[in-house]
Amino acid sequence: MKLAVQENLIPGNTILEKLQNAEKYGFEGVEVWGNDLPQRFKEVKDALSASRVKISTVCSGYGGDLLGPDRKTREMAIEGIKERLKLCAELGGVGVITVPTFSGPKIPDLYPWMADVREVEKKILIEECKILGKWADDVGAYVLLEPLNRYETHLINRLQQAVEICNVVGAEHVKIMADFFHMNIEEANIAKSIEEAGGYIMHVHLADSNRLLPGYGHTDFKSGFEALKKIGYKNFMALECRIPGDPSIELPKCVNYLRSLI
């Protein structure tokens, strides 16, 4: 398992400075934001070529909404994810973190055909993931479905729910991401849930129970890491959290803490 950190958490005025600091702090990877990645692709690529730190993943950043209320909004999300998948693959990253939807349903109730709008959303998401999965298979980067806790989304909250979507889609490059902050809320047993998700987990986010750096809350990371080892996980675990203090002090300290548990 390799440690990574989201680029916004690292001090530095340029992406190269951020990569240099990430390496100094002990990280092996950096997760980049997807919102402006097309515009700064060359800058990111050049910085990565001058650093030993690798890109782990692209975090969202596409426009539209996979489960928006109209076709144009959904198509925009599909095309945005496709573009970032291609860029991610060219940069050597694992994949693009993809959140199916935030907050509540946006698609109208289709009663009497299908009264539960969540079933409508799942059917749409599956078809979208089939489209994205074919593209992802071709370019070689993963669509990483992220379950969120119940206070942030109504649809996919647990790892197993995301795995079920992947099984129906049936594409090699449609997998899931496991986030310790969300798992701490939704999973009855984090370690068991990780083991049951098995080879579907292709990326991991780290944040403690209070969404601060690991070590500042009560999440049991050790048993979760042991479960990741058990399933043979070898990819990145990236920090996505708040930093309670000076990053130049707190980030190296966090690396040491996490390595003591891995």
How many residues are there in the chain?
Answer: 262
For the cut 90, the answer to whether the pLDDT of residue 105 exceeds it is: no
**pLDDT tier, 207 (very low <50, low <70, confident <90, very high otherwise):** very high
Residues 106-130, mean pLDDT to the nearest whole number = 87
Residue 115 has pLDDT above 90, yes or no: no
88 and 64 in contact (C-beta within 8 Å)? no
Domains of the chain by start residue, with CATH: 2-261 (3.20.20.150)
pLDDT in tens, 53-104: 999 999 999 999 999 999 999 999 999 999 999 999 999 999 999 999 888 8
Q: Which residues pair with 2 in a beta bridge?
A: 236
pLDDT band at 113 (very low <50, low <70, confident <90, very high): confident
HEC-encoded secondary structure of the chain: CEEEEEHHHCCCCCHHHHHHHHHHHCCCEEEEECCCCCCCHHHHHHHHHCCCCEEEEEECCCCCCCCCCCHHHHHHHHHHHHHHHHHHHHHCCCEEEECCCCECCCCCCECCCECCHHHHHHHHHHHHHHHHHHHHHHHCCEEEECCCCCCCECCCCCHHHHHHHHHHHCCCCEEEEEEHHHHHHHCCCHHHHHHHHHHHEEEEEECCCCCECCCCCCCCHHHHHHHHHHCCCCCEEEECCECCCCHHHHHHHHHHHHHHHC
Average pLDDT, the chain: 96
First to last CA, the chain: 8
| pLDDT of res. 107 | 85
Q: What is the pLDDT of residue 63?
A: 93
**Pick from 148, 213, 212: which is nearest to 183 by CA?**
148
pTM of the model: 0.95
* Residue 117 reports pLDDT greater than 90: no
Q: Could you tell me the sign of the dihedral formed by the alpha carbons of 99, 102, 106, 109, in that order?
A: positive
pLDDT at 111 over 80: no
Q: Residue 132, CB half-sphere, CA atoms under 13 Å: how many?
A: 34
What pLDDT does 185 receive?
A: 97
Up-side HSE of residue 88: CA atoms within 13 Å toward CB? 35
pLDDT tens track for 218-260 = 999 999 999 999 999 999 999 999 999 999 999 999 999 999 9
pLDDT of residue 112 exceeding 80: no
CB 58 within 8 A of CB 95: yes
Q: How far is CA 165 from the centre of its chain?
A: 16
